[in-house]
């Protein structure tokens, strides 16, 4: 191809050397071909422009224009090649924690939740079980033996210089506590007797517990022994049991023992004076082991023997120091023995 393009040139000696300028300048288009190979194709076709240039010298002006355009394109390409491209910098990726290292915190959270759940269940179960009454817990309920439900008993507070009635220093056996604080309280479910609310009562109210024929004799005996005060409390249970407790306070232990043994005739086998409504009372054989076992002081318990009237009567006496207690119960038909003995034991503990 190059030989055919340059062979006509010697045939015309008059042609000006300017016709060779396009050939010398055109190779400049081949420089950017190394940077952008896709643009190298037009460079091989450019020598075709030399034919009109060699035929007509006036065509040098378009060749000059093409050279200028090519120079501008080369400048643009050079500028694009020189200008640095701004590449956005991505933030560094957060390093991923290995799975083995992440098992520790997860396991701790799981075990913590398990412990909290188990503790909550255990606490709730314990609170539920402890809030129940023994009789409501399966397997722990026992058949009631007839005892009454009393609140927790406590002895009244004494000063440091006030001994108990059983102390050796207290030779008179004096109770320094208020007798009203020594009375046995009514059990749960009881209906209080309005005539015996738990305070001081007249002597005649105590004497009504005996027959009319015995009241005058007992009054004289109380005057002789120097009775100081009578306190009493009574109640009625839902089953119809009527219970009463009387506390008689004397000047000293000797006077109390004299009234109990000589005037009331509280002997081991049977009392000398029967309560009102009782025909014949005898010693309660079930009472013997209780006074010593429960530190209830000394006392005697009696039960009306059959045949008895509409209500059987049980009564007993306790003595501790300067105080004598009368405990009496009656019930339609046969009077239960367990509640009566329970009253005797608790009242004896309060006096002792």
Cα 143 versus chain centre, distance: 31
pLDDT digits (tens, 9 = 90+) for 285-317: 888 777 665 555 668 999 999 888 899 999 999
Cα of first residue to Cα of last residue in the chain, in angstroms, is 146
pLDDT in tens, the chain (352 residues): 444 444 444 444 444 444 444 444 444 444 444 444 444 444 444 444 444 444 444 444 555 666 666 766 666 665 554 455 556 666 666 666 555 555 667 777 778 888 888 888 888 877 776 776 666 666 666 677 789 999 998 888 888 888 888 888 888 888 999 999 999 999 999 999 999 999 999 999 999 999 999 999 999 999 999 999 999 999 999 999 999 999 999 999 999 999 999 999 887 788 989 999 998 999 998 887 776 655 556 689 999 998 888 999 999 999 999 999 999 999 999 999 999 999 999 999 899 8
Structure tokens at 208: 């009504």
């Amino acid at each position: 191809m190059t030989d055919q393009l340059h062979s006509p040139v010697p045939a015309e000696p008059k042609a000006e050397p300017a016709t060779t300028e396009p050939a010398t300048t055109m190779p400049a288009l081949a420089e950017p071909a190394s940077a952008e190979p896709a643009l190298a194709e037009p460079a091989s076709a450019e020598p075709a422009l030399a034919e009109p240039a060699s035929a007509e010298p006036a065509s040098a002006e378009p060749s000059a224009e093409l050279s200028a355009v090519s120079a501008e394109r080369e400048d643009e390409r050079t500028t694009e090649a020189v200008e640095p491209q701004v590449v956005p910098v991505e933030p560094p990726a957060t390093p991923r924690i290995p799975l083995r290292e992440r098992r520790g915190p997860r396991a701790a959270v799981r075990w913590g939740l398990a412990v909290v759940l188990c503790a909550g269940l255990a606490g709730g179960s314990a609170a539920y079980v402890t809030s129940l009454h023994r009789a409501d817990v399966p397997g722990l309920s026992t058949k009631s033996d007839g005892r009454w439900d009393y609140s927790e008993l406590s002895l009244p507070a004494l000063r440091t210089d006030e001994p108990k009635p059983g102390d050796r220093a207290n030779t008179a056996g004096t109770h320094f506590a208020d007798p009203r604080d020594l009375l046995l309280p009514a059990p749960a479910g009881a209906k209080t007797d309005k005539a015996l609310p738990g305070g001081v009562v007249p002597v005649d109210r105590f004497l009504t517990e005996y027959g009319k024929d015995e009241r005058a004799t007992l009054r004289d005996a109380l005057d002789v022994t120097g009775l100081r005060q009578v306190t009493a409390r009574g109640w009625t249970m839902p089953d119809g049991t009527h219970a009463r407790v009387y506390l008689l306070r004397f000047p000293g232990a000797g006077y109390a023992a004299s009234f109990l043994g000589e005037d009331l005739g509280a002997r081991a086998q049977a009392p000398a004076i029967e309560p009102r409504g009782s025909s014949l009372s005898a010693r309660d054989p079930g009472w013997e082991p209780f006074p010593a076992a429960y530190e209830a002081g000394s006392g005697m318990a009696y039960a009306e023997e059959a045949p008895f009237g509409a209500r059987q009567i049980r009564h007993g006496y306790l003595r501790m120091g300067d105080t004598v207690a009368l405990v009496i119960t009656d019930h339609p038909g046969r009077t239960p023995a367990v509640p009566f003995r329970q009253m005797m034991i608790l009242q004896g503990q309060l006096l002792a």
